[in-house]
């Protein structure tokens, strides 16, 4: 009788592969591009600074009402390198000042064009010869700020999200949640969820948890799904509350704490973006939105090449006849000169 494994099985070492991937990723660092959109005064810059504990807008010039009326939609990029416990993150914030400030609020073409341009640049780099150091500037997530003052989505909100929902992961937020009572927030969330389904808007869907995930992650994922759209408050001010210094807003009636989960969903949003779903946002961007763009680009490229070949097939006989006529005229002129 022959034993296929004459020696006892020993430790080979491929169980350390996750550690190798982790070390390589940490050494290389991570890229993440976050777009923020919504009308002025919704606290977009304050929230971004609160999320990443940085000041990306220190050089920003504040416009008065007259300047905002004449302003068109712009695309402004802010890039900052953040390091925490040895992990490096290159964070790019794409701001869209001017959106929602004009009387005609359907001018979001610069925003869709920008997203397409990043796909096009990545597609060109990916198709080139030097693919070792491709910069990923694709937009991985768009935080869309919905005003708390209405009774749901406005027409501009619906049209904007429908223009972008097949290009980028959209996460809707209820801005300035401290303007509403908890009961009003619940009603507004329910209304927004109903209208998102009604108008067929594809917002970012949290992936289903695998069975082998730990209970803490499953509970976090359940809470995230239940509280969307996130009702958020941002603040860069430290105030005194219950003998502790916390980030929040001081009002005559009390203090709103940004990181108190009974006051708003800021902590849940931060956990979702940074702790649990940043990698999934990048995966969906690559596997879904970019692949849609890529397949469209290939189809267009193929149909364009086919059109050119057909055009050349049609034009070639005409060019040949014109060349024959030109040669004949030159020969006649040459005989006349002699």
Phi and psi of 91, rounded to 5°? -100, 125
Weakest-pLDDT range from 6-20, 115-129, 138-152: 6-20
Instruction: Quote the DSSP letter at residue 275.
Output: I
Question: Which of 88-92, 232-236, 281-285, 305-309 is predicted most confidently?
Answer: 281-285
Higher local confidence (pLDDT), 296 or 20: 296
Higher local confidence (pLDDT), 76 or 327: 76
The predicted pLDDT at position 195 comes to: 93
Q: Report residue 116 as tokens.
A: 């397409």
Q: Given a cut of 80, is residue 273 above it in pLDDT?
A: yes
Residue 117 CA: distances (Å) to CA of 6, 124, 149, 175: 60, 10, 34, 29
Q: What is the pLDDT of residues 53-69, one digit of tens each?
A: 777 666 555 555 444 44
Domains of the chain and CATH, by start: 23-232+264-311 (3.40.50.300)
Q: Report residue 38 as tokens.
A: 């919504």
* DSSP line for 142-173: EEEEEPTTSSS--HHHHHHHHHHTTTS-EEEE
- β-pairing, 76-84 vs 87-95, is antiparallel
Strand partners, 249: 256
Grade residue 87 by pLDDT with cuts at 50, 70 and 90. Answer: confident
Q: What is the pLDDT of residues 278-333, one digit of tens each?
A: 888 999 999 999 998 988 887 766 544 444 455 455 556 666 777 777 777 777 77
Q: Given a cut of 90, is residue 254 above it in pLDDT?
A: no
Length of the chain equals 338
Distance CA 140, CA 142 (A): 7
Question: Nearest to residue 174, comparing CAs of 226, 256, 227, 229?
Answer: 229
For residues 203-208, average pLDDT: 86
């Amino acid at each position: 009788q022959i034993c296929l494994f004459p020696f006892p099985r020993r430790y080979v070492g491929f169980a350390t592969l996750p550690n190798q991937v982790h070390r390589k990723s940490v050494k290389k660092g991570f890229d993440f591009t976050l777009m923020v959109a919504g009308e002025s005064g919704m606290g977009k810059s304050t929230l971004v600074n609160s999320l990443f504990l940085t000041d990306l807008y220190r050089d920003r010039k504040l416009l008065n009402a007259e300047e905002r009326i004449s302003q068109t939609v712009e695309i402004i990029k802010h890039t900052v390198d953040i390091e925490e416990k040895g992990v490096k993150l290159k964070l790019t914030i794409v701001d869209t000042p001017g959106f929602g400030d004009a009387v005609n609020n359907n001018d979001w073409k610069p925003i869709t064009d920008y997203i397409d341009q990043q796909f096009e640049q990545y597609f060109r780099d990916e198709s080139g010869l030097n693919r070792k150091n491709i910069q990923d500037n694709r937009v991985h997530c768009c935080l869309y700020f919905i005003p708390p003052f209405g009774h749901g989505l406005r027409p501009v909100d619906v049209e904007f999200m429908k223009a972008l929902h097949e290009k980028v992961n959209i996460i809707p937020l209820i801005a300035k949640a401290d303007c509403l009572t908890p009961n009003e927030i619940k009603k507004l969330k329910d209304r927004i969820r109903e209208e998102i389904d009604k108008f067929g808007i594809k917002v970012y869907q949290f992936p289903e948890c695998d069975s082998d995930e730990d209970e803490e992650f499953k509970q976090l994922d359940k809470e995230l799904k239940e509280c969307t759209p996130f009702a958020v408050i941002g603040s860069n001010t430290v105030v005194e509350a219950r003998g502790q210094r916390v980030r929040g807003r001081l009002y005559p009636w009390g203090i709103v704490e940004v990181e108190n989960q009974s006051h708003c969903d800021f902590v849940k949003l931060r956990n979702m973006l940074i702790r649990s779903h940043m990698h999934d946002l990048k995966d969906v961007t690559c596997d879904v939105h970019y692949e849609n763009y890529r397949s469209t680009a290939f189809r267009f490229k193929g149909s364009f090449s086919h059109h050119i070949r057909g055009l050349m097939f049609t034009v070639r006989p005409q060019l040949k006849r014109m060349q024959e006529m030109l040669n004949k005229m030159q020969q006649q002129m040459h005989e006349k000169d002699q």
